[in-house]
Amino acid sequence: MTVTREQVLAVLDQVKSPDGLPLPRTGTLSEVVASDGKVFFSITVDADAVKAWEPVRKRAEEAVRAIPAVQSALVALTAERKGGAQAARPAQPAPRHAGASARSESPQGVPGVAAIIAVASGKGGVGKSTTAVNLALGLSALGLKVGILDADIYGPSMPKLLAIRERPQTVGGTRLKPIARYGLAVMSIGFLIDEETPMIWRGPMVMSALTQMLREVEWGTLDVMVVDMPPGTGDAQLTMAQQVPLKGAVIVSTPQDLALIDARRGISMFRRVNVPVLGIVENMSYFICPECGTRSDIFGHGGARHEAARLGVPFLGEVPLHMSIREKSDAGLPVVATEPDGPHAAIYRAIAAAVRDELSAGQGARAAPRIVIEA
Ligand SMILES: Nc1ncnc2c1ncn2[C@@H]1O[C@H](COP(=O)(O)OP(=O)(O)OP(=O)(O)O)[C@@H](O)[C@H]1O
Ligand SMILES: [Mg+2]
pLDDT digits (tens, 9 = 90+) for 220-278: 999 999 999 988 887 778 877 888 899 999 999 998 877 788 889 999 999 988 999 99
Instruction: Enumerate the H helices of 290-322 as residue ranges.
Output: 303-311
For the cut 50, the answer to whether the pLDDT of residue 102 exceeds it is no
Q: What is the pLDDT of residue 141?
A: 97
Q: What is the pLDDT of residue 329?
A: 92
Read off the pLDDT of each residue in 363-372 and give the average, rounded to a whole number: 40
Number of the ligand 1 atom closest to the C-alpha atom of 124: 25
Let me know if 369 is exposed, middle or buried by CB neighbors in 10 A (0-12, 13-18, 19+): middle
Counting other chains too, the contacts that 257-261 makes at CB distance below 8 Å and 24 or more residues apart are 257/300, 257/303, 258/123, 259/121, 259/122, 259/123, 259/126, 260/303, 260/304, 260/307, 261/122
Cβ atoms of residues 85 and 221 within 8 Å: no
Q: Which residue's CA is minimally distant from atom 8 of ligand 1?
A: 127
Q: Which residue's CA is minimally distant from atom 26 of ligand 1?
A: 125
Give per-residue pLDDT as tens, 1-14.
688 889 999 999 99
Q: What is the pLDDT of residue 363?
A: 62
Q: Which residues pair with 281 in a beta bridge?
A: 252, 317
Dist. CA 204–CA 176, nearest whole Å: 21
Q: How far is the CA of 101 from the centre of ligand 2 (A)?
A: 30
Give per-residue pLDDT as tens, 117-153.
999 998 888 999 999 999 999 999 999 999 999 998 8
> Do the bridges between strand 175-176 and strand 146-150 make them parallel or antiparallel, or are there none, so unpaired?
unpaired
> Do the bridges between strand 33-35 and strand 38-46 make them parallel or antiparallel, or are there none, so unpaired?
antiparallel
- Ligand 1 is surrounded, with C-beta below 6 A, by 121, 124-130, 152, 155, 157, 231, 283-284, 319, 321-322, 325-326, 329-330
Give per-residue pLDDT as tens, 168-220.
888 876 788 999 999 999 999 888 876 666 566 666 677 778 888 888 899 99
Q: Which residue's CA is minimally distant from atom 6 of ligand 1?
A: 326
Q: How far is the CA of 126 from the centre of ligand 2 (A)?
A: 8
Q: What is the pLDDT of residue 178?
A: 96
Within its chain, how far is the Cα of 36 from the centroid? 23
Number of the ligand 1 atom closest to the C-alpha atom of 330: 31
Give per-residue pLDDT as tens, 18-70.
999 999 999 888 878 887 788 888 888 877 788 899 899 999 999 999 999 88
Number of the ligand 1 atom closest to the C-alpha atom of 130: 18
133-151 burial string, b = 16+ CB within 10 Å, else e? bbbbbbbbbbebbbbbbbb
Closest CA to 44 of 87, 19, 18, 78: 78
C-alpha distances out from residue 30 to 70, 237, 294, Å: 19, 22, 55
Q: What is the pLDDT of residue 82?
A: 52
119, 129, 148, 254: which to mutate for ligand 1, most atoms within 8 A of CB? 129
